[in-house]
Chains A and B, each alone.
Chain A
Amino acid sequence: MNRYPLWKNILIGLVLFFGLIYTLPNFYGEVPAVQVSSGKATLKLDSALAAPIEQALRDAQVPYDGLFVDANSIRVRLASTENQLRAKDAIEKRLNPDPSDPSYIVALNLLSASPTWLTAIHALPMYLGLDLRGGVHFLLEVDMPGAITKRLDATAGDLRTLLRDKDVRHAGIVREGNAIQLRFRDAAQRDAARNAILDSTRDLQLVDRDDGSTDLKLIATLTPVAQQTIRDFAIKQNITTLHNRINELGVAEPVIQQQGADRIVVQLPGVQDVAKAKDILGRTATLEVRMVDDSPGALEAALAGNVPFGTELYTERGGSPLLVRSQVVLTGDRLTDAQPGFDGQTNEPAVHLTLDAAGSRIFRDVTRENVGKRMAILLIEKGKGEVVTAPVIRSEIGGGRVQISGSMTTTEANDVALLLRAGSLAAPMEIIEERTVGPSLGADNIAKGFNSTLWGFIAIAVFMSGYYMLFGVVSVIALAANLLLLVALLSLLQATLTLPGIAAMALTLGMAIDANVLINERIREELRNGVSPQAAIHTGYDRAFDTILDSNITTLIAGIALLVFGSGPVRGFAVVHCLGILTSMFSAILISRMLVNLIYGRRRKVESLSIGQIWKPGKAS
């Protein structure tokens, strides 16, 4: 009765075999590598790029031992850090002939040193969290009210254009809080405006308001659906923008994910220069094109502290003051590309902008109507604006190709282009959580977590083998199998392993031994009651099963609650804890039983079990 059918033994053997294979990559450690990924959204990376990379390495005589192509990147494995740096230079030179406008990101990375056949079957080492490998973690919150306000400002501009096109006369359009207020002199114009607006957009709800003043008012608010769309768009746009910006940082494996309705997690493994990372992330720069108020006397009045209504005072690059109208002609949303370059005639450094269709139309109209006047291009960062340049409009500019030039160095042109190209954020963001872990602490954490688990395991192993003899050894083997399967599962799922995760691993092992203690105690008890050894094994396992199931389910309930509500370190703990409970059920019951069956099940006559001394009440010892 203590024999498993062959298929069961084979099945358990197979599980252990796969466990072993998927655990293997963790033992190989890591080797230096160079990772190439696309630096532009329009540029797709494919295996065709492998040839020039190999060529570049051959030309530079850098030995490499493996080149891997996956969906988003190509990685080259190298023998030493010295070769890594040389390879990076060689590849960089080959792929990015123009360093000011890199098409590809060439970054230093680490790759698993495991053999290629393991990588081919997706047996990868565990994915280490930032607290173990070092790096920066940011949690950013998108300012959704800001996104709505911004959209309303743009809408107010659109409404002005619309009413002008439809020949509807109004007495002013302004945004007040979360609504746009349109004023009219008479009811006929208001009706005409209402019809025109309702024909052109479904995003606005219109309400009449007559509050006794001379003007008739129409109040436009965004519909809930439109607001939701704006929110969704804002977070998607910001994620895309962050992707572009982080690409410029050249981080090998960045993580950029939405969390909840209005938050974005950014993880930059290996990045130590937090200041630079924050600088690039935190640049909530948006581009705005506005007209300059050049009316005589206005600037003087503004400088005297009396800024005329509808204008704002800014300082131009170079220090001279400039009066700019509040009304926004165009925002960075309309921008599709920005490239540094040179002015065709003067050979001055310049930035070439490309606008989308709507932007091109607006730009053409504005430039046509304002020839001879100045227009200001502003970068708005954290609510503060800076006039990048304020050129004079010489002629109508159509076709959506705009050039910004004047008082810029080549570096500045590059910076401005980069900032604009990286895309403007749909809404400002704020860092609400930051976690930086230095590389030395990461290595320490791994060592500490590993040592805790190792010594705890040894202590348990010594005790169990001493106390339960052969059955103790079986329990320890089952526990080791549990660890193996847990590591294999974590590697297979590529779940993030953090220090609390390692702690959970240790704790799970400490708790998992419970199942074997229960079984062994039951078997002893049966023997004490005078049951034959074979029957004792059978009933011992049978009876213990219910208890093991119950107690594991209660532990699992706690684990799942942590998984659902936990964030950050707690989640890392919960994932390992939950997986560990599952693997421990398998190993403590099935694997230990298989071993016991193999040892005792085949014998015809078993006199005694090696489970330590069985003390029987009544027989004094």
Chain B
Amino acid sequence: MEFFRIKKDIPFMRHALTFNIISFITFLLAVFFLATSGLHLSVEFTGGTLVEVTYPEAPELEPIREALDDAGYPDAQVQNFGSARDVLIRLPNRDDLDTGRVSELTMATLQSVAGPAPELRRVEFVGPQVGKELASDGAMALLLVIFGIVVYLAIRFEWRFAVSAIIANLHDVIIILGFFAFFQWEFSLPVLAAVLAVLGYSVNESVVVFDRVRETFKKRRNLSTPQVLDHAITSTISRTVITHGSTQMMVLSMLLFGGATLHYFAMALTIGILFGIYSSVLVASPLVMWLGVSREQFVKPKREKEEAVV
């Protein structure tokens, strides 16, 4: 069984401009949604209290809302979470409340509502000072990833590869965020972790293609730069699809069996994987070409490599 029966190198680079325009438009759309609707940040970032309870049978949400309103939380959000029996309550931080006690007061209020008593599933309370820190830590982590990857690729390959890989993959990150902004999915810490993991993962993809590019430059002296890129992409495409397919199987399994907690985590990974294939192949490679990669740049690394093998 072999999925990919490709006789000739596919002329990807002939359409380089088209691909770049497509990504540019997607990118702009993502930025537009991020700017207009913004991310729906979770309690971890905004600060506040989140109480998840489960009932023996599906409760009416309206009495719960009213009871919370009476208890002094008119700004409480009450919604179902995962199933009709599970209820999620979000309360923003307020200066006039003793924040440390909110979760208990909420539970007490819920127990006072007529009907079956709820069982506490989880409580998350995040003070205002923590939220800001998490956001800045997240940004720092992103910067560190970008810096680390650029430096590593620049040393291992060439600065042109490093720059193209990171641009291509940051474009993925923005697009994932754009999806979260557009659908107003909740952006939580695990999602942030997923986004950063995807960043590292799709750089993989670029690395595999670049490895081939380097090898092809060295081995086949008669090809032009676009032909080299075409050849590299074509000969790795089967691996690209199979690898991502396998990873996606795992992620799909998380999406199906992981429950509500892992839902958006798996969602971010899915988008990241799909766009990762596209961007690292069809965005990074044209960028390398525009940046002017050529055979001469690999004369030196070739010698080093031979010495290393000996």
Contact = CB atoms under 8 A, between A and B. Distances in A.
B1 to A, nearest CB: 5
Question: Which of B125, B138, B144, B239 counts the most chain A CB atoms within 10 A?
Answer: B239
A544 to B, nearest CB: 10
Contacts of A390: none
Given A282-B100, A554-B207, A566 B137 contact: yes
Contact of B144 (A282, A561, A568): A561
B138 A557 contact: no
A121 interface: no
Main secondary structure of the interface of B (DSSP, over half): helix
Given A448-B261, A499-B261, A569-B189, A550 B211 contact: yes
A547 B246 contact: no
Interface in A398-425: none
Contacts of A131: 122
A432 B127 contact: yes
B200 A573 contact: no
A507 B208 contact: no
A562 B193 contact: yes
Interface residues of B, number: 77
Interface string B97-125: 00111011000000000000001111111
Contacts of A565: 137-138, 140-141, 144
B91 interface: no
Interface in A445-500: 445, 448-449, 451-457, 459-460, 463-464, 466-467, 499-500
B222 interface: no
A360 B5 CA distance: 91
The majority secondary structure among interface residues of chain A is: helix
Classify chain A: how many residues form its interface, as a range: 35 or more
Interface stretch (B18-26, B62-70, B146-154, B286-294): B146-154
A555 interface: yes
Nearest to B251: A510
B144 A437 contact: no
B204 A514 contact: yes
B257 to A, nearest CB: 4
Interface of A: 131, 139, 141, 272, 274-275, 278, 282, 430-438, 440-441, 444-445, 448-449, 451-457, 459-460, 463-464, 466-467, 499-500, 503-504, 506-507, 509-511, 513-514, 517-518, 521, 524-525, 546-547, 550-562, 564-570, 573-574, 577, 612-615, 617-618, 621
10 nearest A-B pairs in the assembled complex, by CB-CB distance: A558-B200, A510-B250, A432-B127, A456-B253, A456-B250, A551-B204, A565-B141, A434-B125, A510-B247, A557-B148
29 contacts: A431-B125, A436-B120, A438-B121, A445-B261, A452-B256, A452-B258, A460-B246, A463-B245, A499-B261, A499-B262, A503-B190, A503-B265, A503-B266, A504-B197, A506-B251, A507-B197, A509-B250, A510-B250, A510-B251, A514-B204, A514-B247, A554-B200, A556-B200, A558-B203, A560-B148, A562-B141, A564-B144, A617-B6, A617-B7
